[in-house]
């Protein structure tokens, strides 16, 4: 009691108790502050140590990658041991109770949690993925002297699958780390590691698919046969080029041999047309079902391959188990491994000149019938050499990886379970049904009835734009088409039907496929509004613009599209592979949550 009626003694005792409580409160506060300051210093010291270990680990990982590709197993083993030591140390530095407490604090907590996740990711890769990739010789995934070691492939399949699972689990966990409030250095580290994991994931995923699918595909359980189709980018089609010469391959017991060859022109045309998917028909009519050269006007390779297979079956009676498509650029890459190849009654093929020889010189020097015969002999010569010559398997694996990344090798299997296993890979030749990152497709089809695609050069830029209140985002696409064609001197077999009017003007239909759930907003050609055809491809809108380019002319197509609902500040671009590589750029922006 401290009111007016309280005695002086009671008031003095009450004041002493209040002062004692204040002293205890101040003392407790000082202790807490001291602990927090000490913890902060401890966390900072730990963070400095963890950073040093992570920097060392990153350098060792790059060394390891180069050594694995070079086949230097002894050095790679030593590098892996050092990498595991540094990765484990980084994980330990960020795993004690004080670090955990730091993760619960505002501001610094998100950054400490992100560094922890980076450390865990690097350590998991060093322990769970890299040792397997080092034990399993990835070169065993390519043939030697025309034969693949199927028993070896099946023996390592489980290990490769486990390594792929470790990479994907790590990538998924890191993908969930929020980056909006991170300091620049930590955010950049998370972004860089995500990119590295995406690249590694492509490798392990391809190796996993290869180890599981190649044995049955190459006849481990009975003979298989396939169509090997050459896509001709001198006359552009959405998946790469017009289907030209083809060959029938037979696979049995891991060995591949070429048994028959033919040309799309031999298949003539089909009346009534073969059945075409309703969405493709709205864009291209019945053309894909009538002409073998038009089966791939739409960028869905499985649909094109199924049509072409049926056409070959109807005309020749040959039924195959799948379709493999390549282009002359792939042949030039292979020639870099196998060396020059002589072609009977025609010029030899060399790595540096094969594309020009096949797509330019042959049209100048040979008649139409002789061209088809030369293409057939050229393909036969390259693959005979590939199947019989002793070749560095790692160099061959590098060629296959590059060609698949550039979408120059595509494969479709008639067996649904095998096709499902290919889904999502570049080898399948499809846009994803659902985007993880907003994906824009730019696909090309010749509209000249000519072989002027050899002279066209393409570039594209996707700029991530503003966020909309409904959760969607604008993407601005800029595509340039430049013609290097001469103004005179080309043969009739190159200028063809001259559907653009002037036989040296290249007409190209540029199809823009929006991200899933997206929409096309505007289209302008050289700064002016342009008419565009429209349609759909699953959950994507499609706009088709006609772009004509005279010799030396550059045309610019600008298309603005909306994504579906997304917070992403980046985008992906998928496009038709052409004679020369595209120049591409994606200009990112902060995520919509930032």
pLDDT at 60: 77
Tokens 């002037």 -> residue: 502
Angle, helices 108-124 vs 150-175, to 10°: value is 170
DSSP string, 411-477: EEESSHHHHHHHTTSGGG----SS-SS-EEEEEEEE-SSSSGGGGEEEEEEEEEEEEPTTS-EEEEE
Tokens 């050069």 -> residue: 457
**What is the residue-level pLDDT of the chain in tens, covering all 594 positions?**
444 455 655 555 555 555 544 444 333 333 333 333 333 443 454 555 666 776 777 677 767 767 766 667 788 889 889 988 988 888 888 887 767 877 777 767 787 788 888 888 888 888 888 888 777 766 666 677 677 888 888 888 888 888 888 888 888 888 888 877 777 777 777 777 777 777 778 777 877 888 888 899 989 999 999 999 999 999 999 999 999 889 999 999 988 888 888 889 899 999 999 999 999 999 999 999 999 999 999 999 999 999 999 999 999 999 999 999 999 999 999 999 989 999 887 888 999 999 999 999 988 887 666 777 788 788 778 877 887 777 777 788 788 888 999 999 999 999 999 999 888 889 999 999 999 899 999 999 999 999 999 999 999 999 999 999 999 999 999 999 999 999 999 999 899 999 999 999 999 999 999 999 999 999 999 999 999 999 999 999 999 999 999 999 999 999 999 999 998 899 999 999 999 999 999 999 988 876
pLDDT at 560: 98
pTM of the model: 0.82
pLDDT at 561: 98
Answer for the pair 232, 171: CB distance below 8 angstroms, yes or no: no
Closest Cα to residue 247, out of 306, 142, 320? 320
Answer for the pair 413, 212: CB distance below 8 angstroms, yes or no: no
Tokens 């909306």 -> residue: 562
Regarding beta strands 410-413 and 242-252, do their DSSP bridges make them parallel or antiparallel, or are they unpaired? Answer: unpaired
Number of Cβ atoms within 10 Å of the Cβ of 34: 10
Alpha carbon distance 410, 405 (integer Å): 10
306's tokens: 């199924």
Half-sphere exposure of 536 toward its Cβ, with a 13 Å CA cutoff? 9
- Non-local (6+) Cβ contacts of 567 within 8 A are 471, 591, 592, 593
3-state secondary structure of 203: helix
Domains of the chain (ranges, CATH numbers): 18-217 (no CATH), 224-420 (3.40.630.190), 434-587 (no CATH)
pLDDT at 442: 98
Angle, helices 150-175 vs 184-217, to 10°: value is 150
Number of Cβ atoms within 10 Å of the Cβ of 69: 15
Alpha carbon distance 571, 575 (integer Å): 13
408's tokens: 């120059």
Alpha carbon distance 469, 475 (integer Å): 15
Angle, helices 108-124 vs 73-93, to 10°: value is 150
pLDDT at 42: 39
- Non-local (6+) Cβ contacts of 70 within 8 A are 394
Q: Which helix H or strand E contains 288, and what residues bound it?
A: helix 287-290
Alpha carbon distance 231, 102 (integer Å): 58
Alpha-carbon distances, residue 189 vs 51, 64, 118, 183, 571 (angstroms): 11, 20, 8, 10, 19
Q: Which residues pair with 545 in a beta bridge?
A: 510
Answer for the pair 299, 441: CB distance below 8 angstroms, yes or no: yes
Closest Cα to residue 247, out of 258, 233, 231? 258
């Amino acid at each position: 009691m401290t009111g007016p009626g309280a005695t002086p003694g009671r008031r003095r005792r009450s004041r002493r108790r209040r002062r004692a409580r204040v002293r205890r409160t101040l003392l407790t506060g000082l202790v807490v502050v001291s602990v927090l300051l000490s913890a902060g210093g401890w966390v900072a010291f730990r963070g400095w140590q963890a950073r040093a270990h992570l920097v060392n680990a990153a350098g060792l990982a790059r060394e390891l990658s180069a050594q694995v590709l070079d086949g230097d197993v002894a050095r790679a083993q030593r590098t892996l041991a050092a990498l595991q030591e540094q990765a484990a140390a980084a994980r330990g530095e960020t795993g004690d109770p004080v670090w955990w407490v730091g993760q619960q604090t505002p501001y610094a907590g998100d950054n400490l949690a992100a560094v922890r996740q980076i450390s865990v990711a690097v350590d998991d890769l060093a322990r769970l993925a890299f040792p397997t990739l080092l034990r399993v010789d990835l070169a065993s995934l390519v043939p030697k002297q025309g034969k693949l070691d199927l028993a070896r492939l099946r023996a390592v399949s489980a290990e490769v699958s486990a390594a792929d699972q470790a990479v994907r689990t790590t990538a998924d966990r890191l993908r969930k780390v929020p980056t909006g409030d991170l300091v620049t250095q930590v955010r950049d580290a998370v972004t860089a590691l995500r990119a590295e994991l995406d690249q590694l994931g492509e490798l392990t995923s391809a190796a996993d698919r290869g180890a599981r699918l190649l044995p049955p595909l190459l006849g481990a359980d009975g003979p298989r046969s396939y169509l090997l189709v050459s896509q001709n980018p001198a006359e552009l089609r959405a998946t790469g080029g017009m289907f030209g010469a083809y060959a029938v391959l037979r696979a049995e017991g891991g060995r591949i041999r070429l048994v028959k060859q033919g040309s799309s022109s031999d298949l003539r045309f089909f009346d009534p047309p073969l059945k075409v998917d309703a969405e493709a028909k709205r864009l291209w009519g019945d053309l894909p079902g009538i002409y073998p050269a038009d089966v791939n006007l739409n960028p869905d390779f499985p649909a094109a391959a199924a049509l072409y297979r049926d056409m070959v079956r109807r005309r020749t009676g040959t039924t195959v188990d799948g379709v493999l498509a390549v282009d002359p650029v792939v042949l030039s890459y292979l020639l870099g491994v196998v060396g020059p190849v002589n072609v009977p009654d025609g010029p030899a093929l060399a790595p540096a000149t094969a594309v020009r020889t096949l797509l330019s010189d042959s049209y100048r020097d040979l008649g139409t019938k002789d061209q088809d015969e030369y293409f057939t002999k050229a393909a036969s010569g390259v693959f005979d050499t590939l199947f019989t010559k002793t070749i560095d398997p790692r160099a061959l694996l590098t060629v296959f990886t590059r060609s698949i990344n550039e979408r120059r090798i595509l494969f479709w299997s008639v067996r649904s379970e095998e096709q499902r296993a290919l889904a999502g890979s570049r080898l399948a030749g499809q846009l994803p049904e659902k985007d993880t990152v907003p994906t824009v497709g730019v696909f090309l089809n010749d509209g000249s009835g000519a072989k002027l695609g050899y002279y066209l050069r393409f570039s594209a830029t996707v700029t991530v734009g503003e966020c909309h209140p409904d959760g969607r985002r604008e993407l601005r696409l800029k595509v340039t088409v430049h013609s290097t064609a001469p103004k005179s001197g080309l043969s009739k077999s190159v200028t063809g039907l001259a559907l653009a009017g002037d036989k040296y003007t290249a007409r190209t239909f540029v199809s823009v496929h929006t991200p899933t759930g997206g929409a096309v907003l505007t289209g302008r050609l050289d700064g002016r509004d342009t008419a565009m055809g429209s349609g759909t491809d699953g959950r994507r809108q499609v706009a088709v613009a006609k772009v004509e380019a005279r010799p030396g002319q550059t045309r610019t197509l600008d298309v603005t599209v909306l994504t579906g609902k997304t917070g992403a500040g980046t985008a992906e671009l998928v496009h038709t592979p052409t004679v020369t590589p595209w120049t591409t750029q994606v200009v990112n922006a902060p995520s919509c949550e930032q």
